[in-house]
Amino acid sequence: MKTFFFFFFSCLFLCGNSIARADVGSDTLSSLTLDDMPDWILEHIRFPEEAYSYGKAGVESLMLSTSWDGKLFIVGDLNALHPSFEKAIREVVARAPRCGYAGVQPEDIHKFMLVDFYEYIPKERKGGMEQIGLHMPPVFKSPFGGRTAFLQWIYKKLKVPKSLKQAYTDTLTVEYTVSVTGEVQDVKVSGGKNRELEAAIVKVLERVPRWDLPAMVEGNRCIPVVVSDRLIVSIDGKGRKQPFREYVDEVFCNTKTVPDDRTTILLNPEIQPCYAGETSFRRELFCNVSVKKKTKVGGSFIIEPDGSVAHVQLTASGNAELDSLLAVNLAGIRWLPGMQDTVAVRTFMSFRQSVSPPVVRKKRMRNNESLYEIYGKYYFALRANPNGIYSGYTDGSGRGHRYPFDARTRFDYNAYYRSLNNYYKQSGGNTKNTSRKYFKTMERLFVK
């Protein structure tokens, strides 16, 4: 479990002290630096009143960075226990004073911090709140890759109400709970101008697949979390959906102007860098890579304005040969650089990946393949029940047969499959006697 949380912290870092008094929201640079901002945030943040209904509070994590002109912003997504915690963090970051920036080296461009909201609860109200440590957010894999991809899935499945035949654009709030079993519950859609559209989104969310992993805290204990996102719905004059557009809060955005110093490294540029190869970044990165056991690798690098890679830094995987090969592969990968106001800029990228040995698949035996195709999905551990009711089957000629057991009263599956296959052929393909209902009846009457 310690390894699990170390991996979680590493992912957060790779994506990614004096307290000075300053006028909040000032457009002029203060004497603060990026190193000072975590202390400033902890001083000004407050416990949100809406979180009391959730009944839990704990440690939330975020990565901070500043633009070249001092604007503080959040790198990546916030994955808090409840939307009220995310709102509290966003509001205090948006009010932060502008601070000095020294983003020329990779280690200077971001700052990781934790906010323990439980410590901000008044003593008289802590009794009704459960204290939660740092948690791992819910995980959804295929067909989802993150909260943005999850919203894309919702948008793709959304059917436009017939009443919306004219050009229409709306931004709605989609809120739901991911339960301890990974199910989506308590769906709420609000903030829209059309109630039929809100109902259509709710209908999509009611059919969403279960998430692969729910939110977890140390000890692999699962907890429910509430997620809230904004979904932009855009429809043309003929009632057709327009391409999906991601909603991005200003608190996650870098400044929209180009830095005077072209050596400055930007996080969250207006247009993100894009892999320029013919296959995929992952395939090219792990080209000719072979490992004997599952290994976690990760690192970061800078994409220069010409699309080349520089400042490659890898976390030690314990395999020097693997690390050397990855460094060579990374240096040779070409990118379309990030863009800020139509100008190519230096951008920061990070990655984390597990590499596994090649899978050796066992060849199936041809002589048993047809039997397993017909009956294999009904395979279960049968045991003879001495007190059970007589049970068997009748072949095509009308002769009765008991189910075969060996001398240790264990079920003889080979003989069983041969007999049923013979019955299947003699009955002309009539498989009623081998249906799921028949197997359930036989199991209830004949086996324990």
Of 146, 136, 321, 158, nearest to 222 by C-alpha is: 136
The reported pLDDT for the residue numbered 232 is: 93
Which amino acid, one-letter code, is at 231?
A: L
- What are 247-298's pLDDT values in tens digits? 888 898 877 778 888 888 888 788 889 888 888 888 888 888 888 888 888 8
- What are 177-193's pLDDT values in tens digits? 999 988 999 999 999 88
Of 117, 65, 73, nearest to 94 by C-alpha is: 73
pTM assigned to the model? 0.64
The reported pLDDT for the residue numbered 359 is: 61
SS3 content of the chain, % helix, strand, coil (to 5): 30, 25, 45
Q: Over the chain, what is the mean pLDDT?
A: 77
Tell me the domain boundaries of the chain: 2-132, 147-237, 269-355, 366-446
Pairwise CA distance, residues 124 & 342, whole Å: 54
> Rg of the chain's alpha carbons, rounded to an integer?
29
Flag whether pLDDT at 2 surpasses 70: no
Q: Checking DSSP bridges between strand 400-402 and strand 338-340, what pairing results, if any?
A: unpaired
Please measure the distance between the N-terminal and C-terminal CA atoms of the chain and give it in whole angstroms: 38
Pairwise CA distance, residues 230 & 201, whole Å: 12
- The CATH topology of domain 2-132 is 3.30.1150
Q: CATH class for domain 147-237?
A: alpha beta
Residue pair 315/355 in contact (Cβ under 8 Å)? The answer is no
The reported pLDDT for the residue numbered 26 is: 46
Q: What is the CATH number of domain 269-355?
A: 3.30.2420
* Rounded alpha-carbon distances, angstroms, from residue 348 to 107, 311, 337, 421: 10, 10, 10, 62
- Of the pLDDT bands very low, low, confident and very high (cuts 50, 70, 90), residue 411 is low
Of 281, 347, 283, nearest to 310 by C-alpha is: 347
- What are 197-245's pLDDT values in tens digits? 999 999 998 888 888 888 888 888 899 999 999 999 998 887 788 899 8
- What are 374-406's pLDDT values in tens digits? 444 343 334 444 444 444 545 445 555 555 555
Q: Does 147-237 match 2-132 at the fold level?
A: no
The reported pLDDT for the residue numbered 303 is: 93
